[in-house]
Amino acid sequence: MNAPSKIPASSKLIAGATGDWEIVIGLEIHAQVTSEAKLFSGSSTGFGASPNSHVSLVDAAMPGMLPVLNHECVRQAIRTGLGVKAQINLTSTFDRKNYFYPDLPQGYQISQYKSPIVGEGVVIVDMGEGEQISVGIERIHLEQDAGKSIHDQDPRLSFVDLNRSGVALMEIVSKPDMRSSDEAKAYVTKLRTILRYIGSCDGDMDKGNLRADVNVSVRKPGAPFGTRCEIKNVNSIRFIGQAIETEARRQIEILEDGGAIDQETRLFDPVKGETRAMRSKEEAHDYRYFPDPDLLPLVVEQSEVDELAAGLPELPDDKKARFIRDYGVTPYDAMVLTLERESADFFEQVAKRGDPKTAANWVINELFGRLNKDGTPITESPVSAAQLGGLVKLVADGTISGKIAKDLFEILWTEGGDPRELVESRGLKQVTDTGAIEKVVDEVIAANPDKVEQAKAKPTLAGWFVGQVMKASGGKANPQAVNDILKRKLGI
């Protein structure tokens, strides 16, 4: 729920012994396609099944088995491309990427090398305080996921689980447009939001459904790009930031000592806070790409692309602009409210029942704060949109004060119920009777003659009296009425 803060341009540079250095970052995001079946077989993609229970003969690479393309995965890739304003290629091809690993039964991965289904696009990323950056999308292609090697079940043996083998992935390749770890984290957050809005990937990094290969290089400001290293399979946004900072400093130390950076693939160890070499970085020719002879070129009709475009939901940037325009919320609040589709929907339901700005304040500060504290997703919120909307309406019409509203929110969170009925049954109504309020004010003034003289000399001390009156009334007195009566009584 938290939004990124603005990063001043100067803070993007890292100070070294020989001067400032600039980080250059590009990301390859592997997003598991939301689909019931795998990319080239009918096996289930369900998470958490017992090992090797979702494996067809195709997934296990049995002799003679032929891949059959799951067209829903194609449609999801097109939706994603449209969501990042990218070129949709009506003709694309599948290639074999050859390498050997125990959890890759075929000895190759079916991917898209020369002709991906999605071409160049862009993601607009909010960095806070009105600053935005544009991160270019180089391409999005479909490919198979590999299986999973398990090394911690036996001291002498490794095991292989092929449930994930053949699951459809979208590899979303950015251009090297990011210059700080904060920009990279904000980009991944925004991209995940877009994928979730569209429904093409659930973005669950804990399950490995979204992970990143992070390409990092450093250079002196204005110099040509340096040699990059790729950090593989980083599975949390926080770790992406840590990996970038760690790797950049490692490269700077080497360069300032007169060394050279080797292009290689590395792993990030979050426990030790270091990256370590995994293997020398392969180039395309190392994989001996060639067109997959079992798959014809993929041809998509423009009419299908148009149909998918028409069926897209309102995307985050459009929703944010509408919230600012129609509800009058600040750009920052609109950004926070639209980070998740469910959060945006919740807010709109609350806003329809009361003042939108007040609704935004309650959703962001009270509801999101409590959900984050308890680790509860908004879809499981104990307080419904109707209940929170009812609370906001009671505040707006003066039935309850802000302080009582917070007490009422706690009751709704722990016990539930109808907000208006709770106010009536528990005597929580705001006291607007000026005679009753005046009586409490008189009592507080009479009990504190020394403070009265101080307040006359220093009017800002009237706030102390307001607090005492509100306390004496159990928070039920109308704050504006208290202020007005106090000013009159104190002669300030």
DSSP secondary structure of 115-154:
S-SB--EEEEEEEETTEEEEEEEEEEEEEE---EEE-SS-
Strand order in the sheet with 95-98: 108-111, 95-98, 290-291
Lowest mean pLDDT among 147-151, 245-249, 353-357, 401-405: 401-405
pLDDT band at 281 (very low <50, low <70, confident <90, very high): low
Give per-residue pLDDT as tens, 28-71: 999 999 999 999 999 999 998 999 999 999 999 999 999 999 99
% residues pLDDT > 90 (the chain): 76
- Between 5 and 297, name the one with better pLDDT: 297
pLDDT in tens, 337-366: 999 999 999 999 999 988 899 999 999 999
Three-state SS at 170:
strand
- H/E stretch holding 332: helix 331-337
Q: Quote the CA–CA distance of 467 and 321 in Å, as a whole number.
A: 39
| Side-chain-facing half-sphere of 410: CA atoms under 13 Å | 5
In this predicted structure, the answer to whether residue 268 has a pLDDT above a threshold of 60 is yes
Alpha-carbon span 403 to 406, nearest angstrom = 5
Q: Which residues pair with 132 in a beta bridge?
A: 126
| Mean pLDDT score, 452-464 | 76
435 vs 3, residue with greater confidence: 435
In this prediction, residue 431 carries a pLDDT of 60
Domains of the chain with bracketed CATH: 10-307 (no CATH), 314-425 (no CATH), 434-490 (1.10.10.410)
What per-residue confidence (pLDDT) applies to 285? 73
Q: Is 80 exposed, middle or buried (0-12, 13-18, 19+ CB in 10 A)?
A: buried
Helix/strand/coil percentages in the chain, nearest 5 = 40, 20, 40
pLDDT of residue 10: 45
Distances (CA, A) of 62 to 57, 295, 447: 5, 17, 90
Q: What percent of the chain has pLDDT over 70?
A: 95
Q: List the structure tokens of 63.
A: 């002799």
pLDDT for residue 349: 95
For 120-169, write each residue's pLDDT tens digit.
999 999 988 778 999 999 999 999 999 999 999 999 999 999 999 999 99
Query: Given a cut of 70, is residue 298 above it in pLDDT?
Result: yes
- Between CA 370 and CA 376 the distance in angstroms is 8
Query: For residue 472, is pLDDT > 90?
Result: no
What's the pLDDT tens digit per position in 89-107?
999 999 999 999 899 999 9
**CB proximity list for 219: less than 8 A, separation 6 or greater:** 21, 22, 24, 225, 226
How far is residue 17 CA from its own chain's centroid? 36
Which whole number is the average pLDDT over 208-228?
96
- Has residue 482 got a pLDDT over 80? no
Torsion, CA 39, CA 43, CA 46, CA 48, rounded to 10: -120
Over residues 235-254, mean pLDDT: 96
Secondary structure element (H or E) that encloses residue 413, with its range: helix 402-414
Other residues' Cβ atoms within 10 Å of the Cβ of residue 98:
15
CB 72 within 8 A of CB 86: no
Confidence grade of residue 11 (pLDDT, cut at 50, 70, 90): low
Interatomic CA distance for residues 69 and 96, integer angstroms: 15
Say if CB 49 and CB 161 are below 8 A apart.
no
* pLDDT beyond 70 at 4: no
Report how far Cα 199 is from the mean position of its chain's Cα atoms. Answer: 14
Mean pLDDT of 263-292: 88
Whole-number pLDDT of residue 314: 97
- Residue 439 confidence class, pLDDT cut points 50, 70, 90: confident
Q: Distance between CA atoms of 253 and 256, rounded to whole angstroms?
A: 5
Average pLDDT, the chain: 91
**What tokens were used for 182?**
């904060």
Q: Which two tokens stand for residue 174?
A: 């950015």
Q: Could you tell me the pLDDT band of residue 6, with boundaries at 50, 70 and 90?
A: very low
- pLDDT at res. 8: 41
Is residue 193 within 8 Å of residue 187, measured between CB atoms?
no
What's residue 224's pLDDT? Answer: 95
What's the rounded mean pLDDT across residues 74-95?
A: 98
Structural contact between residues 14 and 23, judged by C-beta atoms closer than 8 angstroms = yes
